[in-house]
């Protein structure tokens, strides 16, 4: 199984939430999008445990099953389709989450997130 992790599920994992820890352990490849990485680091800088959280994140990133995923020109086509669909449905979602959705679709991954606004994208493969 190959998953793409949203910020809330990485936070669950880092906090030791059993469901997330088990899911990560059962996964062959864990993809962390650039957007999630940026959101995490921004959150760390606004908190009181920035150094500790950054060390934990770096250890996570150095695991052999973890891969960073970046946007490229192909991603922009997926993003545009997601944007147009959400706009025509009248169901906008945060821009960062549209990038995440585009990366899931581009790389044929399963999204691991607690955000319910992804329900507006039924073509998006997701884990519960």
Q: Over the chain (128 residues), what is each successive 10-residue block's mean pLDDT?
A: 97 97 97 98 95 96 98 98 98 97 98 97 94
pTM of the model: 0.95
Which residue, among 89, 80, 77, 74, has the nearest Cα to 120 in the 3D structure?
Answer: 89
- Dihedral-angle region of residue 127 (phi above 0 means left; psi in -120 to 50 means alpha; beta otherwise): beta
pLDDT of residue 122: 97
The pLDDT, as a whole number, for residue 53 is 96
pLDDT at 128: 73
Burial class of 30 by CB neighbour count within 10 A (0 to 12, 13 to 18, 19+): buried
Q: Residue 112 pairs with which residues in a beta bridge?
A: 5
Tell whether domain 2-120 is in CATH 3.40.50.1010.
yes
């Amino acid at each position: 199984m190959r998953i793409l992790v949203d910020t809330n599920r990485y936070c669950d994992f880092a906090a030791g939430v059993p469901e997330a820890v088990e899911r990560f352990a059962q996964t062959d490849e864990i993809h962390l999008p650039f957007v999630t990485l940026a959101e995490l680091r921004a959150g760390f800088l606004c908190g009181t445990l920035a150094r500790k959280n950054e060390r934990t994140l770096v250890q996570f990133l150095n695991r052999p099953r973890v891969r960073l995923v970046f946007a490229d020109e192909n991603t922009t086509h997926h993003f545009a389709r997601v944007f147009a669909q959400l706009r025509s449905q009248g169901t906008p979602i945060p821009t960062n989450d549209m990038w995440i959705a585009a990366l899931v679709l581009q790389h044929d991954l399963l999204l691991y997130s607690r955000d319910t606004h992804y329900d507006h994208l039924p073509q998006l493969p997701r884990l519960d």
